[in-house]
Every structure is written in C-alpha cells, then in structure tokens.
Structure 1
Amino acid sequence: MKIEKLTPAFKDYLWGGTKLRDVYRKPCDFDKVAESWELSTHPAGESRISGGEFDGMTLNEYFKAHPEVLGENVRRFDNFPVLIKLIDAKSPLSIQVHPSDEYALEHEHEYGKTEMWYIVDCDPGASLYFGVNRAITPEEFRKRIEDNTVEEVLNRAQVHPGDVFFIEAGTLHAIGAGILICEIQQNSNCTYRVYDYGRLGADGKPRELHIEKALAVSKLTPAEGAGAVPEEKAISGGSAARLGQCKYFTTDRYTVDSEICLDVGGCSFMSLTAVKGSGQIIGPENTVEFATGDTVFIPADTGAVTVKGKSALVAVSVKGE
C-alpha cells in the first residue's frame, strides 16, 4: 500500500487564531481556524485522503476498504483509537476535564479521553493550566467554580517549544493564549467545561458548563508529567525522542538533519505530522512531498521508509499491550 497525504477537518471555535491558515498553509477560509483534525475518523470531523487512488476518501472509508493498513495492534480496539489535532489558541481555552472510558461509556455512550500536548510554538511567557496546585476537596472545587476563583487552585505552567504534557483522563487543564499545539488523543470528543471566564458564545449567551459531571470525574490532587522535556537520542541522519506512550497511542519526535530511515512493520500504522521544515517521505511504492503542517499516513507493513530533508516530525503509532 502507498503512503497517503491527508487533508484535515477544521474547527472555528471562538478562541482560535489564524496561524494554521496563514503560517501553516491550511486550506480553510474560516475567520478563525482554531483546530485542524489531522488524523481523524471521528464523526465530528473526519480527515480525508489527498491525492492518488483514494483521493477524497474519508479515513473511515479507507480503513473499511483496507483494514490491513491499520496493523495488528489496532485490532484490539472497537474503533480507531487515535485522533491528532493541530490547535492554535489565540485566546485561552476554557478550563475543562475529560472523563475516563468507564464514566464516558456509561454517561455519554462514547469513549473518554486521555491526551498529550506537544508545544509546537508559543508567544514569550505563554502558559497553560495543568492539574491543581494542591489537594482540594470537591466542596472547595464547587465553591471556587461558583465564586470565579478556580484559577487560584490550578497549576499554571509556563511553556516553551518542545515541551510535552501528558494529560490523563480526569486532569483539569486549559491551553493558554498564544500557544500552538500538536495534540494526540483518544478518538473522542467528550469534554466537560468547568470555567469559561464569563465569555459569550456565538449566540450571545454564556457557553454551557458541565459542573456536576466535572465534579464526578476530576482528580483533585496535583498531577504528574507537566512540561517534560523529552530525552533526545542520536540516530543516523538526525535524532529521536519518545514523547509519550499509553495503550491508545505512542508518540515520538524525529528530527531530520539530512536523511533518516524508519521501519513500519505489521504491528501498527505510523502517522507523521511535520511541525517544522519540509522534505520527502519515500516508501517502497511511492514518494510523498511534505511541508510544515502536513500529515501523512504510512500503512502497517510498509517496511523501510526514508525521510529526506530538514524537518521535525511527530510520529504516532499504536504499540502492543
């Protein structure tokens, strides 16, 4: 099977900016391009194949026609386990939390969401919220939401390009203003909004909060894994770093100085999102050109793949249990 370039779905949430269109060349005419769903089978925004034999086909259609491209490790899941986004936060996102699989399946009839953030770019001094800064009780949490002081008990972390945050289900969080993120997450769109700074939605009304559900799923003790700087290891032609891993996805960063070789075996597909630079991805059957912001899908069992050029790539696959 050939390597496929993808076209994302887009979201125009009120906090979004224009970098994805103006800097990363995303073909979208929204006034605000808050998110591009780069690798997605979720019904709220499916990505598509761009060019070649399957041009215009949704990923769901492609996977149903050719399930072998997913790899052995994906077969244990009821649905495709991963969703990858680029997120441009011109304004801060709401303070929110995602439920576990168990809670979400019972109450929302979809899976929960564990996710990770890779900071692609940010304004000087930009920050985000990650967990609480001390243990709090559910009663204090509720009161602080009601009297608009919840930010006082959240852990604020300054960010820099290359930082990594692993956000387990139940962790309170919010992306701050001036941050561009590559988000790798479970294939879910289940979010409970806790606090939204008093903002109004497009209809002129305050956006809905989900306080009772948030109280039921939030972890109210400080979280681990904030702002980790991944360890870089030299490989031929560049370097590699493990960014994060869970049962749903494994994420690596490859820095290409000239040319690197990757092996995509039968256990899992590999996706590559270019967060910097440009080049070529050369497989046994075809070659795909890429630039900053592009995402490609490499089918399982492709074998040896060569990446040429000068770039930084976020690679996602699914490892065995």
Structure 2
Amino acid sequence: MSEPLFLKPVFHNKIWGGRKLETAFDYNIPDGKIGECWAISGHPHGRSEVENGEFAGQYVDDLWKNHKELFGDPKGEVFPLLTKILDAEASLSVQVHPDNEYAEKHEHELGKTECWYIIDAEPGSYLIYGHNARNKQELDQMIESGDWDDLLRKVPVKTGDFFYVPSGTVHALNKGIIALETQQSSDTTYRLYDYDRVEKSTGKKRELHIKQSEDTITVPHHDPKLDIVTREDGKNKFTTFVQPPISPYFAVYRWQLKETAIFTHQIGAYTLISVIDGNGSINVDGNDYKLEKGIHLIVPATVSKWTIVGDLDIIASESGEK
C-alpha cells in the first residue's frame, strides 16, 4: 500500500534558541534554549524517524539506502534535503556556508544552499543578508578591522517573507524570528562574527572560522533574482517561491488551502510537506491521515496523486536533483 511517511522531529539546543517551538507548535521539546526543530532529515546529526505504517521505526537515511523506490530510484548517496523550523530568541551568528566543491573537499559532505520562509517576525525584526564589500581585498580588510556595521547588510523582515540564501551568502537570522528553512542536507556553518558571546559550558567565546569564511564568501554580493508566482484556484492559493534553474537543489512552495485540492509531484519524484498552520487531512489511496500545525511528512514516489482537505497553510519542497 502506498502511504505518506509521517516523521518525528529532532530538537537541538542552541545558544540563541528559546521556547517558542513549544508554545507555537505544541512540540514536547527538551529543557533549555531549543533553537532548531529538524523536521525532515536524513543527516546523521538529526535523523528523522518514520512514525506510521510499514516503515514505522525506520529512519529517512536508511530508507534512502534500502528502499530507493520511495524516492524514485535516485542516484545520490545521501537524502539531499533538510527541513528545519528555527526559533531565534536571540540573533544567530553572522555566517556563511560553502558550496558543494569546497564542502566535499574540506568537510566531506554536501554544500549548503538554503532558504527561509518567515513564519513569524516581531515588529522591527531584520536579517543580515549580504555584505557591502566591493572586492576581496576590501572584504578581508573590513573583517580584519571588525568593521561590521559598514560590512553587513541589514534587511527588514516581516511575517510571510521569503529569502533564498545560496552558498557563499553572508547571512543571519536575528532575534524575534521563527522561520522554516529548506536546505541541502549539510551541517557545515562557518561563523564570521558572533557578537563575542560566551558558551556557558566552556566559559569561552564560540569558535569563529575566518579563513573558511573568507574562502567561501561571494564577492561582491548580489541579491538573487527570484520569480515568485502565486496562482489562485477557487479559495486556494499556490505560490512557487523558487525552483530550478534559479535554485538547482530544490523547489519550495506555499499552499494556502481553504477547500479540497488535488496534488501530484511537480519537478521531483517525492514531496516534503510541513504544516505551519491549520487542520485538515491528506487522502492517499482512499485512506485519510490527519494534518495539523507542526506535522511533517514525505509523500513518496510510490504515491502519484493525493488530495488535501481542510483549512491549512503548508510549506512544501521537492529536490531539484535527479
């Protein structure tokens, strides 16, 4: 029987995290400052476990290796995508991620291109997104002198915004933001600046990665040109935020549903779904499965068509890699 794969989230304590994943999504999170919900993941630092059906108790990375038919018989060695929800009670470090070539050589994993859908942003919230250095020499000089105010671009942000963050982009979520992140399956982050914060466990400032950052930052910075398209069908709205060729690794969609909608896979063999608000159900092969805020699932390649009913706000994604 073909069925969706519902997944159990994995939570990570972060110096910048808070408790909103508990209050906003009703997750049973551990004690402490919980900054990240790894919602759909085959990465070894946070593996998603299937909660239902034939594959209950198995992990996404194991299914990728042993049940290729669920993903359309892909060629890649690792499940290529990672979906997170981030709670930035404090600002994240100013950081950059490497591309595939640099990451494979130095970190032995994928590079990290990512994007954010802003689930909630407090008034006055902003991102660090890009930099103002005109060339590599100016970039290195501004980093060395700590001229962060002139170097870093601050961009206002509000609920419902979308940002595409290719590898090589200087960036940071700042305090007061909850975001859903779709990214390549990588956990490599190079910290450029961290506000001189000290880890309580060590009493020392967090490690910076200046050389790696300088190696991988794109100079000069250019904002990606996105072609965001929204289509209405009755009371439903379907938005495509990004897709190949602009984003070679993934397509990301928002589905704002008020009435029944029928879906098929678009650019990929399987589809990742995260419910960010509302209630409803997904019907596959005549069987209904409950959907509610905070649920995450994969619709595998063995499902060719499915129906969603309810009042729901969903972020969905597909791999752009064949």
TM-score, normalization by structure 2: 0.92
Distance in 1 separating the partners of 2:183 and 2:11: 16
SS at match of 1:14: strand
Gaps of 5+ in 1: none
Q: What is the deviation of 1:144?
A: 3.1
Preserved CA contact (<8 Å) 2:60 2:79: no
- Report the RMSD for the aligned CA atoms in angstroms: 2.0
Task: Please say if 1:196 is aligned against 2:194.
Answer: yes
Looking at structure 2, the residues matched to 120 and 211 of structure 1 have their Cα atoms a distance apart, in angstroms, of 31
Q: CA deviation at 1:69?
A: 0.9
In the alignment, is the contact (CA less than 8 A) between 1:126 and 1:158 conserved in 2?
A: yes
**CA positional deviation for 1:177:** 0.5
Partner of 1:170: 168
Alignment of 1:115-194 (within 5 A): 115-132=114-131, 134-194=132-192
Moved over 6 A (4+): none
Partner of 2:230: 232
1:142 alignment partner, SS class: helix
Equivalent residues in 2 for 1:1-321 (5 A)?
Answer: 1-72=2-73, 75-132=74-131, 134-202=132-200, 203-225=202-224, 230-245=228-243, 246-264=247-265, 267-284=268-285, 286-319=287-320
Change (3 A) 1:191 1:320: closer
Whether the 8 Å contact between 2:267 and 2:318 is mirrored in structure 1 is: no
1:190-216 Cα shifts (integer Å, max 9, x gaps): 111000001001311000000011111
Q: Which amino acid aligns with 2:117?
A: Y
Q: Find the aligned partners of 2:261 and 2:126 in 1 and give their Cα distance.
A: 33
**What SS class does the counterpart of residue 45 from structure 1 fall into?**
coil
Structure 2: 5+ residue stretches without partners: none
Q: Using the aligned pairs only, state the percent identity.
A: 32
320 and 194 in structure 1: CA distance in 2 versus 1, 3 angstrom threshold? closer
- Structure 2 distance, partners of 1:35, 1:85, is 7
Deviation at 1:223, TM superposition (A): 2.4
Q: Is the 8 A contact 1:12 1:34 kept in 2?
A: yes
SS in 2 for 1:53: helix
State the Cα distance separating 1:237 from its structure 2 match.
Answer: 4.7
Secondary structure of 2:276's aligned partner: strand
Q: CA offsets per residue over residues 82-137 of structure 1, 9 Å max, x none? A: 111000101000000001111111111112111111111110110001111x3334
Given that residues 81 and 249 in structure 1 are in contact (C-alpha distance below 8 angstroms), is that contact kept between their aligned partners in structure 2? no
> By how many angstroms is 1:264 displaced?
3.3
Q: Give 1:229 deviation, angstroms.
A: 9.0
CA shift at 1:222, angstroms? 2.6
Taking structure 1 as the reference length, the TM-score comes to 0.93
Cα contact 2:282–2:288 (8 A) shared by 1: yes
